[in-house]
Structure 1
């Protein structure tokens, strides 16, 4: 690419970046208000995430591992339903999302929620850590928070922005070349790529409020992380382990719990 084209490409990306500094959720009682770098459309990322999720469901179904444990599946879905009812506190459009909740029979200590509300919990997480309903709500609320806050869309936007070039600008404009790449990227972001320190902290914070509003004791976030640290030898399982460190995470949650405890107490009286 010659210098002129490169400069034009950079200028277009800068313009897109300036237009894409948004806040995808309301702040809630916990006050999450960071401006986010967004380039890709919500519709495109949601569609690609749904496609990636369907592929994961098919893999699990083929292996006889999709919702094969009826007891865990009922628990996960019941807890998720209560949490999902609270999602509009952070974004009103979440009540119209096509939420899906499934369980994969796997020894992995893992869970995720793709863009648009596609939740998957691995049975090993529930069984190996002997999670209570409150602790399980901590995990699911955390993963839902990633989706509500559109962290996958943000991460995918950042990945695209790192590849300066007119071809990327073309893809952002909706050219078909980008569709398959987005599908692969949606899977990669949801299943393998760790979220940033800021994203993880936001998910902890929003998830804590979601569980409190749903009537789950936010103190369970502490016992969950104690179990995580013990299971991971200090780091915790991969889906929550990158940043912040376990001890720091626990300290932050302890500071936030007084903010959301009144919400839990009010929910418990209903």
Structure 2
């Protein structure tokens, strides 16, 4: 949602009828049942998150199988509780290609209702369904190759060529990132709605967050574009 991370610590293993929290040691412990109502207007609890996951995760997996029948649609959703992490939600893949969605506890404190949690989760699931990670990797690789070629033609030394390669890879990786975010907003809105949540209410989280504007190499689009994308996706 805000960035893509790789390191994972506390895993929230999700099955169709059972949720367990798995600590760094790999030992699972049962969790309490979710509360029946969301705390509205204030920080959301872990119980709120669990309740949202129970509704959204099966819809996201079903949507994934419908749109990408050959993809791995077995989402694993977890809490990344490493100390000091900022508010964030992100999607990545494990070594076997299984889609992972991580939330930091600090994000719960910023969200005011389950609709916001549901939209964030649906948005991250949509990144996987849309195949954004391999597209970013391919674009980054192409950018790195171009940077290497330009550096070599310019007569740069080895260090200079490596710098040009890194710059090219960064530009390539970010070239389509704003479009990917809007694609994930659109599909995520539909997933959230199918899960019984209000994506128009959920996307209002962005109205309270810092607006990245429309700046070069920024990875996220302007907040107004995201809100309008959600409106169009659900006909609101």
Same fold (TM > 0.5)? yes
More helix by share: 1
* 1:86 corresponds to which of 25, 47, 63: 63
Higher relative CO (Cα under 8 Å, sequence separation at least 6) belongs to 1
3-state SS of the aligned residue for 1:219?
A: helix
Aligned to 1:24: none
Q: Runs of 5+ in structure 2 lacking a partner? A: 12-21, 32-44, 147-169
Greater displacement, 140-149 / 77-86: 77-86
3-state SS of the aligned residue for 2:204?
A: helix
**Residue 142 (structure 2) pairs with residue 161 (structure 1):** yes
**Residue 76 (structure 2) pairs with residue 113 (structure 1):** no
Q: Runs of 5+ in structure 1 lacking a partner? A: 1-48, 166-188, 262-270
Q: Are the aligned partners of 2:116 and 2:201 in contact in 1 as well (CA < 8 Å)?
A: yes
Q: Are the aligned partners of 1:197 and 1:244 in contact in 2 as well (CA < 8 Å)?
A: yes
Cα-to-partner distance string for 1:110-132 (whole Å, 9 max, x where unaligned):
011114321111111112222x2
Q: Are the aligned partners of 1:222 and 1:254 in contact in 2 as well (CA < 8 Å)?
A: no
**Residue 53 (structure 2) pairs with residue 77 (structure 1):** yes
| Backbone CA RMSD of aligned residues | 4.0
**Residue 8 (structure 2) pairs with residue 56 (structure 1):** yes
Alignment of 1:116-131 (within 5 A): 116-130=98-112
Aligned to 1:175: none
Alignment of 1:1-270 (within 5 A): 55-57=7-9, 61=23, 71=47, 74-75=50-51, 77-82=53-58, 83-94=60-71, 96-105=72-81, 108-115=86-93, 116-130=98-112, 132-164=113-145, 196-227=177-208, 229=209, 232=210, 234-235=211-212, 242-258=219-235
**Number of residue pairs matched by the alignment:** 174
User: 1:86 Cα shift?
Assistant: 3.0
User: 1:102 Cα shift?
Assistant: 0.6
User: Could you tell me how far apart the structure 1 residues matched to 2:101 and 2:91 are?
Assistant: 4
User: 1:97 Cα shift?
Assistant: 3.4
Cα-to-partner distance string for 1:119-163 (whole Å, 9 max, x where unaligned):
111111112222x22211111111111111121111111111123
